[in-house]
Structure 1
Amino acid sequence: MLLKFADDTTVIGLIRDDDESAYRREFEQLAVWCSQNNLELNTLRMVEMIVDFRRNTPTLTPLTILNSTVAAVESFRFLGTTISQDLKWETHIDSIVRKAQQRLYFLRQLRKFNLPQVLLIQFYSAVIESVLCISVTVWFGSATKSDIRRLQRTVWTAEIIGCPLPPLQELYTSRVRKKAVKITLDPTHPAHYLFELLPSGRHFRALSTRTVRHRNSFFPQAIHLMNG
């Protein structure tokens, strides 16, 4: 699968039964297409991250493109979200908490200048809450209680403006439900089939999950909220 956003290109491959041929062929085809269309690949900026939860993980041959070996990494930043190979979110949450706390300084300064509360709320929503909620539907359900408390403390600190602010759990729930509704109304969405109505027509069939990681991910959580 090829994901492209502006000049950012990401290739996602699934390796089955230790057969890497299809995965490597995807990269070869990308390199050929770039060569044919006068697009130069910067191999120095390319990285490879492998996600594998098997107990006995085989060692894969390093990926090579244009005679350059692609560096293997444990995490990488994808459109503002830091994804780790263990699919845990401490690194990403560390980053957004640090960024949000830096921006609290400006909120304090604006409060000192006695700006109207409505403008302070607008500033918080645009500059701080937007950072805390980057891809929140992806990672919040799998965040640890400790990390959620760290995030929420940032929100509580911002309440120096003199009014309560929406808790992150509420924002997460609202955004998951909103996104789920859009998927159910769009038959062309690749995940539309996951939202299967039960014969009663009032609830969706719950997804079968074997791990806590899967159960806390977006689609099981979305279906649970839609049924709630």
Structure 2
Amino acid sequence: MALVGRLKDDETLSKYFTQVDLLNEWFKSSFLQLNVGKTKEMIFGGKSDNCGPQKVRISDKEVELVETFKYLGVSIDNKLTFSDHVHVVYKKAQQRLFLLRKLKYFNVNQSVMELVYRSLIESILTFNIVTWYGTTNVKNKAKLHRIVATASKLVGQPQRQLTSLYEAAIKRKALKIVRDPIHPLNPCFEILPSGKRYKVPLARKNQFKKSFLPSAVTILNSSRIT
């Protein structure tokens, strides 16, 4: 479970704490006990000392404020750089390249090598790629691309590049949202009067420009809308 709030001023901050209290009361009325020790709070796009003197408390215990947290398999940091996630993925992929090297040493068939790569290495490189790849910096992307390049040499043929896999994943997700009228993001995909392109959302900050929605609209606009 994740409680997300957009805090702009004292009023929204007060509403946020009210929601936390209501959540706490719901747990009590439902005879459930939340593990406060495993519950974390993270503030995005701001400093922790600007969140006000009041701290989030559940069952009279203060919730720990963190800068990074692993949620649904992705390591998220409060600056949304996903550097920690890339580090974990890179380390895992490096370890699994050892298996490819062993298979190459024993002259395993190329098709089997490619199957092993896609199953054990590409799968972790692309896990939830829609969420994090777009905002990852060039240096971290280069680290992951080296994994693909090394695997391509071991397998004996070029493997799919992460950028193309990311764009394909973005397009699949975007089309699924467009075709689902009850999806929360469906209204964000607004077709222009021409009926051929989607309206590009206004994005002042570079971080938002690289996030899912603007990226999805750009990719859909570059292809024919069906």
Q: Same fold (TM over 0.5)?
A: yes
1:42 to 35, 41, 46: 35
Residue equivalent to 2:194 = 200
Q: 1:124 corresponds to which letter in structure 2? A: Y
Aligned residue in 2 for 1:227: 221
User: 1:4 is matched with which residue?
Assistant: none
Aligned to 1:13: 5
**Aligned residue pairs, count:** 219
Q: Which runs of 5+ in 1 are unaligned?
A: 1-8
Q: For 1:68 and 1:58, locate their aligned partners in 2 and report how far apart those are by CA, in whole Å.
A: 18
Q: CA deviation at 1:58?
A: 4.8
Give, in whole Å, the separation in 1 of the partners of 2:207 and 2:89.
22
Amino acid at match of 1:85: N
Q: Report the more deviating stretch, 35-44 or 190-199.
A: 35-44
Q: Partners in 1 of 2:110 and 2:72 — Cα distance?
A: 32
- In structure 2, the partner of 1:137 is 130
- Write the distance in 1 (CA, Å) between the matches of 2:174 and 2:51: 37
Structure 1 distance, partners of 2:37, 2:116, is: 38
Task: Report the aligned-residue RMSD.
Answer: 1.6
Report the 3-state secondary structure (helix = DSSP H, G, I; strand = E; otherwise coil) of the residue aligned with 2:133.
helix
TM-score of the superposed pair, with normalisation by structure 1: 0.90
Task: Tell me, in whole angstroms, the C-alpha distance in 1 between the residues paired with 2:45 and 2:158.
Answer: 42
Q: Secondary structure at the match of 2:2?
A: strand
> How far 1:24 moved relative to its partner?
1.5
- 2:86 aligned counterpart, secondary structure: helix
Unaligned runs of 5+ in 2: none
Aligned pairs for 1:124-163 (under 5 A) are 124-159=117-152, 160-163=154-157
Tell me, in whole angstroms, the C-alpha distance in 2 between the residues paired with 1:191 and 1:25: 26
| Corresponding position of 2:44 | 51
Alpha-carbon offset, residue 187 of structure 1: 1.0
Over 3 Å counting, the alpha-carbon distance change for 1:148 and 1:52 in structure 2 is closer
Note the alpha carbon deviations across 1:55-90, whole angstroms, 9 max, x for none.
Answer: x94544221111111110011000111111111121
- Matched with 2:90 is 97
- Displacement of 1:205 after TM fit? 0.9
How far does residue 115 in structure 1 lie from its aligned partner after superposition?
2.4
Letter in 1 for 2:209: R
Structure 2 counterpart of 1:210, from 190, 201, 204: 204
For residues 129 and 18 of structure 1, the distance between their equivalents in structure 2, rounded to whole angstroms, comes to: 45
Of stretches 59-68 and 171-180 in structure 1, the one that deviates more from structure 2 is 59-68
What letter corresponds to residue 78 of structure 2 in structure 1? Q
What is residue 82 of structure 1 aligned with on the other side?
A: 75
